[in-house]
Amino acid sequence: MSASPTPKFENVSDPAPAAEFARQKNRTYWIEPRFAAIWAALGLMLVINGIFLPRSVDPATILSILPLAAFLTIAAIGQSLVIMSRGIDLSVPAIISLSSAVLLGVSNGSDDRLWLGVGAAVLAAMLAGAVSGSLIAALRLNALIVTLAVGSIVTGIGIWYRQNAVAESMVPPPLAEFASSRLLNVPVSVWLAITILIALTIILKKTAIGRRFELVGTNPSAGHLIGLSVQLYQVSAYVVAAALYGVMAVLLSGFIRNPTLDVGNPYLLAPIAASVLGGTAISGGTGNFISVFGAAIFLTQLDQSLKMLGVPTAWQMIIQGLAIALGMFLSEMSSRRRAS
């Protein structure tokens, strides 16, 4: 994306800076190389797999991993919102596990209490997100430390709740059926992930709230100058992200049918990896949820291929860490090019 100098704000009540910022971002949103790169990488991996590991690209195999990619997409979109607000969230696994426990405890395996359980699970997640966001935005505490601490507290609460208040370990049957169902032979979870990414993309790119969110992420000082509540947008990022973690936890629990206490454990690094590989700027403000979806498919397919090859779990984690490092490096290089 072509670089442009930081605008000078002569009149803080003039909305022109934000409008110009949005115009420039919308102009290159779909053709920015950092967003297209993951799709090229995904295509290349599928070609290589098709040659050397044909069974990994069989239609049946692809359909079997799509729900996992959808779950990762939803969590990664939430993480992307936080990163776009110049934060990071290490409490994702804890929030997912807590939401799953609350779903089980409130619904108690009953069809009649399903929606009550779903609502309670999402609200519990949002409460955790609100705590993290408030501490980070209002007190200006380090996001890494805060979300790590909140994650630890939430984990403890989840363990206590699961051991003392959850009598039923199975989700209500309608949820299990829904989470495993297909529409047009595509898993419903994929359609839901696509719906979420389209809705949030429209909000970010076509509404004033979305454009202001991107502005305060890219340049908080500019946001303050034109009268925006930067702290409110930062807190909102954590709350909305946590709501997405809660939704994802409900779907994942339904898909598993009998979720355990550690159901959220795989989602510490994976959402960060999908976010940065999808082109989300570590410096804040810039993100593309469609590319995050591509990154989630890439990582899920990579994980499946490594398992088929018999690669040990330790090496799978190493490769995932390298993917995050590569994504951060490319993000930093792109930011420097725009600034030069």
Q: HEC states along 305-325?
A: HHHHCCCCHHHHHHHHHHHHH
* Mean pLDDT of the 331-338 span: 65
Residues 6+ apart with CB under 8 A from 338: 1, 2, 3
Residue-range domain boundaries for the chain: 16-21+31-334
Residues in CB range of 111: below 8 A, 6 or more apart: 172, 173, 174
| CATH number corresponding to 16-21+31-334 | 1.10.3470
- Residues 312-334 pLDDT 10s: 888 878 887 787 787 777 666 76
For the chain, give the mean pLDDT: 87
For residue range 143-176, what is the model confidence (pLDDT) as tens digits?
999 999 999 999 999 999 988 877 667 899 999 9
Structure tokens at 77: 């979109």
Using one digit for the tens of pLDDT, what is the confidence trace for 272-299? Answer: 999 999 989 888 888 899 999 999 999 9
Distance between CA atoms of residues 251 and 118, nearest Å: 10
SS3 label, residue 146:
helix
Question: For residue 109, what pLDDT is reported?
Answer: 87
- Tell if the pTM clears 0.75, that is, is over it: yes
pLDDT at position 224 is 84
Query: 221 — phi, psi (to 5°)?
Result: -60, -40
Query: What is the Cα–Cα distance from 224 to 221, expressed in whole angstroms?
Result: 5
Q: What is the CA radius of gyration of the chain?
A: 20
